[in-house]
Structure 1
């Protein structure tokens, strides 16, 4: 005997099932006690986990449990009591039933993923992240979705199932972050002097970390330049400001000391000597008239 047949047999013994008043009263009572129990559980969790979880994640976890209990009560108790066969609705409803079925499955998947996100806590509100190639700040973590505010001010809603199953890059989870420059100077310039100048600039920067310390060294001998790698660690909150500010300071200071940033150039050798002649001045040709 199937589960649906068993449930129908059990509810067939309930008197006056066809009485609308009894049905409405029963549904209201089930919802009332479900909400009451869910409220009690959430209050208990809030008191127990208040010191163990941050406020944002705790609120989301409580909401997930609260609304999840209501969904379970509706699907698992009220629908069978009213003899609503969800599989029958799926067949009878055709396309609408299929859409509703997939939507319900998606909602439950996002709800469960939201709970797992609360347990694992890979992100929190305010973090700077890259989720599914969507970069920005975590604006809100809701029951079934996460809101990302991009750098240009757009808001993107990501389903929690997507957030949980995709790779997440959290740029501010660590207190420090490193950035890197490649500074190319001419072969005729003194690389040791350039490294010394760059190190002096870093030493004067108040937010450049000493531990881990910076690294400045010749990396490659390129086609047009001696490439110097500059790696600097900074507090995560000052990382972007330092990265955009120090590069121009390095460029300007090097040029002030006679060291120029290299640019692509080619030296052309000819097998035989070229015969050249001086072009006459344009005023002598009369073409300027």
Structure 2
């Protein structure tokens, strides 16, 4: 100990103690600012989310705005904490901006996903709970995050799609309207009575209580095919009843055709054999 004291003069020891004490206080202040600021950022973000929930805002918008607010406030907290250490925040912000530019160039795909997420929030082509088809995948929208959109498929799989792929392709929103039209096609034989077929189809439709009266269903000959006369059957239903009615009408129509003796032909070809005298 005496050897160490001999190596450091009293003036140097005093300077070191002052420096350590000053830096220690600054470090403690920076840590306090960071943790308190982080807590406040989380608190403000949660308050913002709850306020939007009380206003019955779209859940997709709530999550997106909450994340933006939190990370924006957290960035300000980090800058304030660094300022407590004596670092010039002006130059720090300039360095941060230059680093952000370099990172942005390296992460162009991520920034494209972020921009696409912002556009989806602004224009809102769909909301949480809607059943959509986008980027070759169909499912219910679970959440729109900063960079990705999460879909739940009908077989309960979770599919995470980059936002840029969602906006760069066609988006089909099956839940955008309260009603949908069923497009059904039933083929009957050429030897069947078309008037009878139309009557039977109308009877089956009238027995289905989930069909809407307005708009009125359409029943018409669609096509004279190679093996069948095809009828277009186009009733309207509530969007929530779409698949239930779709499956039930297929089954009911087949059973009723069987009862009425109406044939549903399968593809076939007539083969003519000609014999020639030798």
Do these two structures clear the TM 0.5 threshold for a shared fold by scoring above it? Answer: yes
The answer as to whether partners of 1:46 and 1:62 remain within 8 angstroms in 2 is no
Corresponding residue to 1:131 among 126, 130, 134: 134
- Secondary structure at the aligned position of 1:252 is classed as helix
Shift of 1:158: 1.8
* Structure-1 separation of matches of 2:238 and 2:33: 56
RMSD: 3.8
Deviations 1:141-179 (A, max 9, x none): 334322111222221112334334433211112111112
Q: Show structure 2 runs of 5+ residues with no match.
A: 1-18
Shift of 1:88: 8.6
Which residue is 2:223 aligned to? 220
Deviations 1:1-20 (A, max 9, x none): xxxxxxxxxxxxxxx9x957
Please list, as runs of the form range in 1=range in 2, the aligned pairs for 1:273-288 lying within 5 A after superposition. Answer: none
Shift of 1:257: 0.9
- When residues 242 and 46 of structure 1 are mapped into structure 2, their CA distance, relative to the original with a 3 A threshold, is same
* Structure with more helix by fraction: 2
Q: Report the TM-score when normalising by structure 1.
A: 0.70
Q: Are 1:64 and 2:68 matched, yes or no?
A: yes
- When residues 132 and 74 of structure 1 are mapped into structure 2, their CA distance, relative to the original with a 3 A threshold, is farther
Which residue is 1:119 aligned to? 122
* Structure-2 separation of matches of 1:35 and 1:107: 27
Q: Show structure 1 runs of 5+ residues with no match.
A: 1-15, 91-96, 276-289
The answer as to whether partners of 2:183 and 2:232 remain within 8 angstroms in 1 is yes
The answer as to whether partners of 1:208 and 1:233 remain within 8 angstroms in 2 is yes
* Structure-2 separation of matches of 1:261 and 1:156: 39
Corresponding residue to 1:197 among 195, 200, 206: 200
Shift of 1:31: 7.3
- Secondary structure at the aligned position of 2:272 is classed as coil
Q: Are 1:180 and 2:183 matched, yes or no?
A: yes
- Secondary structure at the aligned position of 1:62 is classed as helix
Shift of 1:236: 0.8
Corresponding residue to 2:55 among 51, 58, 63: 51
The answer as to whether partners of 1:146 and 1:159 remain within 8 angstroms in 2 is yes
Please list, as runs of the form range in 1=range in 2, the aligned pairs for 1:33-44 lying within 5 A after superposition. Answer: 36=40, 40=44, 43=47
- When residues 214 and 86 of structure 1 are mapped into structure 2, their CA distance, relative to the original with a 3 A threshold, is same
Greater shift after overlay, 197-206 or 226-235?
226-235
Shift of 1:75: 7.9
- Secondary structure at the aligned position of 2:231 is classed as strand
* Structure-2 separation of matches of 1:23 and 1:203: 78
Please list, as runs of the form range in 1=range in 2, the aligned pairs for 1:157-176 lying within 5 A after superposition. Answer: 157-176=160-179
- Secondary structure at the aligned position of 1:227 is classed as strand
- Secondary structure at the aligned position of 1:238 is classed as helix
Shift of 1:266: 2.0
Which residue is 2:272 aligned to? 269
- When residues 113 and 74 of structure 1 are mapped into structure 2, their CA distance, relative to the original with a 3 A threshold, is farther
The answer as to whether partners of 1:50 and 1:58 remain within 8 angstroms in 2 is no
- When residues 40 and 271 of structure 1 are mapped into structure 2, their CA distance, relative to the original with a 3 A threshold, is closer
Q: Are 1:260 and 2:263 matched, yes or no?
A: yes
- When residues 147 and 40 of structure 1 are mapped into structure 2, their CA distance, relative to the original with a 3 A threshold, is closer
